[in-house]
Amino acid sequence: MLLSRFPRCYRGARAAAFAVEASQPIGFVGRREPRVLSSYGNLRGLRVVKQGRISQTALKVALGLITLSVKDDWAQRLPPGLVEVTERLLLASGSPGYGPGLMRASKKQWMVRVYQIQDRMMPGQWEGFGHRKIFMQQQVEAAIEEGARQVLVLGAGFDTLCLRLAPQHSHVHFFEVDHPTTSAAKAKGVAVEGQPANMIQIAADLGERALSKVLSEDGRWQFSQPSVLLAEGLFQYLTNDEVRGLLSDAAACTSAGSRIAFTHVIPGKRKTLRTMVRLVGEPWKSAVRSGDLPEYVEGTGWAIISDVDTESAHGVERYAVAERR
């Protein structure tokens, strides 16, 4: 098998570096599904991340970005500081295999070639991470410019946006919510970086607890403040019903004019992808066409304000922005 020809440090983290995010058929049901779910109860039973295990897909995105930074001009295109902070977070996380050896290997040209092989089978699956990060940062910066006072990153993984932007926007509060195990692993790195006073990490399994409850219990989220939410690489781990349930619940936590920027997987068969990503064990459960999003979010309290995303460079994902009505 291909992996056996790579250095030990790479083999040790095979799932993180090589496998991709999905492992199950993509079940877009569209109009045949029940339309809207206002209750959080629809999220109950959701077990996207195995209990007690750091999200492998979150690690994979982070590691993929480090390798992307040594390809072509990606180092200049990625938001400043993203790669350096990501690397430090991974090293501090205590994730098995994520030591200095893997970080060094991830910046080698042979690793770029590994990802390029993967990209040939699943176009856009790697560089898409870079496009995603650029898109999300642009959305957050635009929203802050227009008055947002809170940023909430759902399923934050090892994303560095809050850590990097919080010091630049002291009047804005930055929140992250992630599954407890992944959140705890990231918290080690956040402590090493120095947690900004206006950044709040909340550990919560959104399959167990409603976002609105999580935020109320924490007590620092202001329901009436203009806010921008991010759900990057998250919705595919929820069923279509669960996505709409989460959107409804997110609407209950935000004031009119707030925004949510998110990525979603588009429908397709993708046999190779499904086979390869079975390794990761975090199956995809939903997909929706970009053009169908207005109807998809109808009744959740959000309206799509972005254009239909037809960009093939985004791989199997598309990006969108919705506004709280």
87/159 with CB nearer ligand SAM: 159
Rule CB under 6 A: is residue 122 a binding residue for ligand SAM? no
User: Residues 16, 36, 42, 55: which binds ligand SAM (CB under 6 A)?
Assistant: 55
The Cα–Cα gap between 218 and 232 comes to 22
Stretch that binds ligand SAM, among 72-80, 118-126, 155-163, 299-307 (CB under 6 A): 155-163
- Write the Ramachandran bin of 21: left for phi over 0, alpha for psi from -120 to 50, otherwise beta: alpha
Site string for ligand SAM, 199-238 (x = CB under 6 A): ------xxx------------------------xxx--x-
Size of the site for ligand SAM (CB under 6 A): 22
44/325 with CB nearer ligand SAM: 44
Q: Give how far Cα 120 sits from Cα of 1, 23, 127, Å.
A: 18, 18, 12
Rule CB under 6 A: is residue 58 a binding residue for ligand SAM? yes
Helix (H) or strand (E) holding 265: strand 259-265
Min dist. Cβ of residue 30 to ligand SAM (A): 23
User: Residues 164, 173, 179, 270: which binds ligand SAM (CB under 6 A)?
Assistant: 179
Rule CB under 6 A: is residue 49 a binding residue for ligand SAM? yes
The DSSP secondary structure of 170-199, one letter per residue, reads: TTSEEEEEE-HHHHHHHHHHHHHH---TTE
Rule CB under 6 A: is residue 78 a binding residue for ligand SAM? no
Looking up tokens 């934050």 gives 156
Rule CB under 6 A: is residue 156 a binding residue for ligand SAM? yes
Rule CB under 6 A: is residue 61 a binding residue for ligand SAM? yes
Residue 16 is classified by DSSP as H
The DSSP secondary structure of 84-153, one letter per residue, reads: HHHHHHHHHHT-TT-SHHHHHHHTSHHHHHHHHHHHHHSTTTTHHHHHHHHHHHHHHHHHHHTT--EEEE
Rule CB under 6 A: is residue 124 a binding residue for ligand SAM? no
Min dist. Cβ of residue 56 to ligand SAM (A): 9
